[in-house]
Structure 1
């Protein structure tokens, strides 16, 4: 492959991996289980989310996601999430492999405990081309700091409609 073609391939991979991570965060916020699962390789993804757990495949993490993200009390979601990520550093390490680092600003409202948590941390990912699409093969999150504060009784928490796609 000539230099120009290699540069185009690397830029295309970086663009696709950026879209993968954005779609992953969007799936988290939209409570989209299928979109969340599709972000990872089919078998053997290494996922380390600290207190949420460490897994050697996506299936157990998907089960945690379903249990936490989809939990409802009195017909309302228990947790509402907002993932805002950026500052990517992506290195294409081969024709079908890459690694990257992302900053995350995370906000979560717990409607039962009436708390709001704001966290900052960093992802260290590895991605692999699988079936013509980039998927995460390794996803590690390290929290740098977090603040949890009560939501007063005078604050109204309103939910929108959650729909994937």
Structure 2
């Protein structure tokens, strides 16, 4: 990325052409993230150096002209089409990853805020698959939203907290992706005076439809589990450890 003169060329300010080359860090089209920001920084520095040389030596470039009144061309060695295409693809992947993470955040927030309509919009309209330990499998988003409404929205005693962590997003096609998320979950049932803490992992599949990412499938596998009950004096007692009690831990009355 250093400014170079052609072999045998006179000093840059003597009216000769200056050759400036740019070399991106080409580490393959499958690289997502990684050095893409470094590439962008290098390219911005590259442009800044052209600005500097144009100003200092009177070269034409980035809209500047020679102090002597005669433009002197700067010949820039552009990135190859393949490198440029890879950089564009990696930038698109970064934007898509951000969109998918925002999608998952909207879903988890809809769970906590008891917003069934917002939850519904997170899934594809037809054929969504939702599976979670302790629940039957659902093959349509409406079935899942109906169950959520009955167990949480219509139950003022339930207070939930869903925190997603450690996302790993990978792409399976131009408009499809999959993701792994760790979940930290807490539920307070003020009527039954119980507190549930559990962890687990989401395995998701995403699809871009009409320019928007949505969840095609979502499977949740429960990991750790502890359930405590708080007596009138504020003393907690563990009533389930490792797995939920046979009666479950959500009551809807």
TM-score by length of structure 2 reads: 0.58
Per-residue CA distance 1:55-92 (angstroms, 9 max, x = gap) = 111110110010011123xxxx1210000111000001
How far is the alpha carbon of 1:27 from its aligned partner?
0.5
More strand by share: 1
Describe the SS at the equivalent of 1:52: coil
Q: Which residue of 1 aligns with 2:207?
A: 128
Q: How many residues align?
A: 151
Distance 1:94 1:8 in 2: 16
How far is the alpha carbon of 1:113 from its aligned partner?
1.4
Larger Rg: 2
1:39–1:136 Cα contact (<8 Å) kept: yes
Distance 2:233 2:142 in 1: 40
How far is the alpha carbon of 1:53 from its aligned partner?
2.1
Aligned with residue 5 of structure 1, among 60, 84, 88: 88
Alignment of 1:72-111 (within 5 A): 72=155, 77-111=156-190
1:71–1:79 Cα contact (<8 Å) kept: no
How far is the alpha carbon of 1:143 from its aligned partner?
0.3
Higher RCO, Cα 8 Å, sep 6+: 1
TM-score by length of structure 1 reads: 0.88
Distance 2:188 2:178 in 1: 31
RMSD between superposed Cα atoms in Å: 1.2
Instruction: For structure 1, list consecutive stretches of 5 or more residues without a partner in the other structure.
Output: 156-165
